[in-house]
Amino acid sequence: MEIVELKKGIYWVGAIDWNIRDFHGYSTTTGTTYNAYLILDEKNVLVDTVKAPFYLEMLGRISEIIDPSKIDIIISNHVEMDHSSSLSPIIERIGNPVVVTSERGKAGLGKHYRDPMNFKVVKTGESLSIGQRNLSFVEAPMLHWPDSMFTYIPEDRVLLPNDAFGQHFASCQRFEDEVGDEVMRHAAKYFANILWPLAPLILKKIDEVAKMGIPIDIIGPSHGLIWRKNPGRIIQAYVDWSQGKANRKALVIYDTMWGSTEALAKGILKGLIEEGVEAKLLHLRSNHRSDIIEEMLEAKGVLLGSPTLNNGMFPTMGDFLTYMKGLRPKGKIFGLFGSYGWGGGALKEMKKSLEQEKFDLWEQELTAQYIPDPEEIKGAIQFGKEFAKKIETNSTNDSK
Ligand code: FEO
């Protein structure tokens, strides 16, 4: 196996999950990685582990560098099983290492794994001497679970923040500068689908870390590529995404039964494009919900279209709204459109769903009965043009 060294004595010893395509509802089109790190010092430290089926892959990587029984300390930055489910076998393999974690980490690990562990609980600002290095810790509750924390190695300027700054991306490369701009697309999708609801906490945590004045050469997240060329780039992107900075971009997200809602969607798209908006048409059965959410991250406006089925919205729209509401994408303006046969009901149900979560709703709506005629298509184009003006003046978001 190729040995990957971040800095002298600090190694990546994680695993690559090439074939996972669904990560609890998120489409992982290239797979992902579970990143664990080994620090060699007077006391040897393993930072996080990997998902259980990949335990032997991690063990193999560690064994290329040292005898695993020489590990003295394991740091568990996060309880979720993609990072902790190899803890029990590695503890059994190496003896009785100290397991360093947050207070909530101790409680969470105790509920997941019944085996007794030799815990050492740490808090923000505490440090741990391992010889030449003094590891320090920053609790980061809700990034991604209440137990989450960051480990920082000041002597090497390396930050290991677990889920923060990660990407679900599998490749032969381990560092972002080996891949190029593609990494940002994966980082954006990861942020939008996992961390977006936590945006206010992310801003606070980035501010807190900035005030600590800790220099950072390398960010080693727990998924995907390691940021070593320009770690400031991903930090700035997190600030922008958390602040809801958006482009002059609008999405037309819809489903259709007999083509009527689609005809309206295409008319709206035409109107948006004619007004110079970067617009995208996204059919709910052709695009995975997690890809649509990624597109939404930098869009100012979102138009949602559904036909009426059994007096309500189409099931795919219900699925999408349920997923979207949980991610709380604030700072967007939403508009509604759709077709119906007789009674209608889709827009009413969609509106209720969005109002419950206090999304910013455009007062105009567009509907057509049965099949839209040429005048109604002209109306759809105009609707798109009006929405383009609306997103221009909407004050809930900023533009880059
Ligand atoms: Fe990658 Fe929250 O676990």
* H-type alpha helices, the chain: 55-65, 81-84, 87-94, 103-112, 182-190, 199-212, 231-243, 260-274, 289-297, 315-327, 346-356, 374-393
Residues with CB under 6 A from ligand 1: 78, 80, 82-83, 144-145, 163, 222-223
Residue 354 has pLDDT above 80, yes or no: yes
State in Å: Cα 372 to ligand 1 middle.
Answer: 46
Looking at residue 134, the DSSP 8-state letter turns out to be E
Looking at residue 298, the DSSP 8-state letter turns out to be T
State in Å: Cα 82 to ligand 1 middle.
Answer: 6
Domain architecture of the chain: domains with CATH: 4-242 (3.60.15.10), 251-392 (3.40.50.360)
Residues in contact with 396: Cβ distance below 8 Å, sequence separation at least 6, in sequence order: 244, 330, 331, 332, 333, 360
225: helix, strand or coil:
coil
Both tokens assigned to 64: 């290329």
Are the CB atoms for 124 and 67 separated by under 8 Å?
Answer: no
Q: How far is it, in rounded angstroms, from Cα 10 to Cα 40?
A: 7
Q: How far is it, in rounded angstroms, from Cα 287 to Cα 222?
A: 27
Active site residue 163: yes
Q: What is the mean pLDDT of residues 165-169?
A: 97
Helical (H) or strand (E) element with 129 = strand 127-129
Residue 292 has pLDDT above 80, yes or no: yes
Q: What mean pLDDT value characterizes the chain?
A: 95
Q: Exactly one of 2, 24, 363, 375 is catalytic; which is it?
A: 24
Which tens digit of pLDDT belongs to each residue from 90-144?
A: 999 999 999 999 999 999 999 999 778 999 999 999 999 999 999 999 999 988 8
Q: Exactly one of 11, 190, 254, 340 is catalytic; which is it?
A: 190
pTM: 0.93
State in Å: Cα 187 to ligand 1 middle.
Answer: 14
Which pLDDT score, from 0 to 100, does residue 396 have? 52
Are the CB atoms for 74 and 45 separated by under 8 Å?
Answer: yes
Active site residue 323: no
Which tens digit of pLDDT belongs to each residue from 45-102?
A: 999 999 999 999 999 999 999 999 999 999 999 999 999 999 999 999 999 999 999 9
Which pLDDT score, from 0 to 100, does residue 397 have? 47
Which pLDDT score, from 0 to 100, does residue 25 have? 86
Q: Exactly one of 163, 176, 255, 275 is catalytic; which is it?
A: 163
Q: How far is it, in rounded angstroms, from Cα 250 to Cα 271?
A: 11
131: helix, strand or coil:
coil
